């Protein structure tokens, strides 16, 4: 995949998170573990973006180590047939994008029913 397509996908993910109330920062050039950092309600999310579902074991391990060492919650964003998926690497679940705004509360063990 081209750098331009990858960058455009990263901007799509930034738009999703920003519209859900997150402060976002993109790591240009993707030289680190995460392409994007997103912060909301005191929770820092590190997001790795891939146009195809091809996260390596080494990348996943590095992301989980960043969670253990620094508390950066690892998320993996990818596309299959133009559909965006967002995986929670700690809980081993795919996140419903409609619940993105409530994600900090959900991972902290709270409810997301508006109460």
The predicted structure's pLDDT at residue 110:
55
* CATH code of the domain covering residue 82: 3.40.1350.10
| 114 found inside a domain | no
Residue 21 maps to a domain = yes
Domain count along the chain: 1
Mean pLDDT by 10 residues, the chain (115 residues): 81 96 86 92 95 91 97 96 94 94 86 44
pLDDT at 115: 38
Which DSSP string do the residues of 87-104 spell out, in sequence order? EETTTTEEPPGGGGGGHH
CB atoms within 10 A of CB 2: 8
Could you list the residue range(s) of the whole structural domain that residue 71 is in?
A: 3-107
Q: What are phi and psi of 29, to 5 degrees?
A: 90, -15
Range 102-111, long-range pairs (CB < 8 A, 24+ positions):
103/20, 103/40, 103/43, 103/45, 104/40, 104/41, 104/42, 104/43, 105/41, 107/43, 107/73, 108/43
Residues 6 or more apart whose Cβ sits within 8 Å of residue 51: 1, 5, 6, 9, 78, 79
Q: What is the pLDDT of residue 1?
A: 52
Say what the pLDDT of residue 29 is. 67
113, part of any domain: no
pTM: 0.89
Q: Is the residue at 73 inside a domain?
A: yes
Say if 112 falls within a structural domain. Answer: no
- pLDDT on residue 51: 87
């Amino acid at each position: 995949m081209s750098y331009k397509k990858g960058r455009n996908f990263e901007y799509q993910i930034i738009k999703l998170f920003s519209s859900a109330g997150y402060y976002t920062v993109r790591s240009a050039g993707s030289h680190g573990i995460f392409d994007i950092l997103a912060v909301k309600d005191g929770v820092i999310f590190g997001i790795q973006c891939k146009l195809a579902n091809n996260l390596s074991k080494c990348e996943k391990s590095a992301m989980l180590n960043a969670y253990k060492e620094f508390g950066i919650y690892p998320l993996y964003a990818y596309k299959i047939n133009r559909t965006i998926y967002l995986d929670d690497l700690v809980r081993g679940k795919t996140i419903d994008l409609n619940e993105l705004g409530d994600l900090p509360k959900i991972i902290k063990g709270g409810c997301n029913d508006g109460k």
